[in-house]
Structure 1
Amino acid sequence: MAQLNIDVNGRPYAVGCEDGQEGHLLELARLFDHQVRQVSQDMGQLGDTRLFLMGALLLADELLDAKNRLAALQVEVGRLQADRSRIETRAVGALEAAAAKIEKLAAA
């Protein structure tokens, strides 16, 4: 298990992670640090616990918004796939009808 020191709001914290996940953890820490610093700028120093709680809540809000947008997009993709399937079926029917007419004309 790897051990890293990360900084959040100017304070170091020792954190463990699986080997090979160090870069990912550093990116998460950078994102959280940015959120906590933004809360601190907007609301002033609240103490680490409240700053961390507000930062976590804001990140959770962003995550929930992203999940909701993803769900809406998945519904839209499903609708578009169904539309495509109906259009393809109609196109095949039209091509088959045209082929039948051509065969009928060629036989005459």
Structure 2
Amino acid sequence: MMGRVSLNINGRKYGLGCEPGEEERLMRLGQKLDDRVNAMANQFGQIGDLRLLVMAGITLLDELEDISDAVEQKVDERIGDVRKESEKVLAHAGEAEAKAAEGLLKAAAQIEKIAAKIESIVD
């Protein structure tokens, strides 16, 4: 069964259906829209519900786009930071791998020397 809310926007009531449990959220969003429409009406006068709603919608979408752009920029910055950090880690891992290989080669050389000494003693 669908939920139902009644919103008051610029002094007019609007009945809307919604998913069950979404009533409170829809009421809160409707209040925000009403606040924005009232701000527009205070600034420009009562120029008609449709114009006020369009103006309020445009200003809300403009703010949303600014926020979205800022979030996208932050995400790009974080991706760049992660990429730089992973390059550092990979470089360090490569250095550690090279040192480990060098150590193994030295150990192998020492083992060969010891093996040769043992062979000379046994022979």
Query: Aligning the two structures, in what range does the TM-score lie when normalised by the shorter sequence?
Result: 0.7 to 0.9
- 2:48 aligns with 47
Q: Distance in 1 between matches of 2:4 and 2:54?
A: 24
Q: Distance in 1 between matches of 2:35 and 2:11?
A: 11
> How far 1:102 moved relative to its partner?
8.1
- 2:67 aligns with 66
- Provide the aligned length of Structure 1 versus Structure 2: 106
- 2:78 aligns with 77
> How far 1:94 moved relative to its partner?
4.6
Q: Distance in 2 between matches of 1:18 and 1:66?
A: 27
> How far 1:90 moved relative to its partner?
2.9
Q: Distance in 2 between matches of 1:37 and 1:102?
A: 75
1:28 matches 2:26 = no
- 1:18 aligns with 19
> How far 1:91 moved relative to its partner?
3.0
Question: Over aligned residues, Cα RMSD in angstroms?
Answer: 2.1
Q: Distance in 2 between matches of 1:101 and 1:46?
A: 81
Q: Distance in 1 between matches of 2:58 and 2:44?
A: 14
Higher Cα radius of gyration = 2
Q: Structure 1, unaligned stretches of length 5 or more?
A: none
> How far 1:10 moved relative to its partner?
2.4
Q: TM-score, normalised by structure 2?
A: 0.73
Q: Distance in 2 between matches of 1:52 and 1:36?
A: 6
- 1:38 aligns with 39
Instruction: Give a deviation string over 1:11-63, Cα, whole Å, max 9, x none.
Output: 22111111111011111101111111111111111111111010011111111
Q: TM-score, normalised by structure 1?
A: 0.82
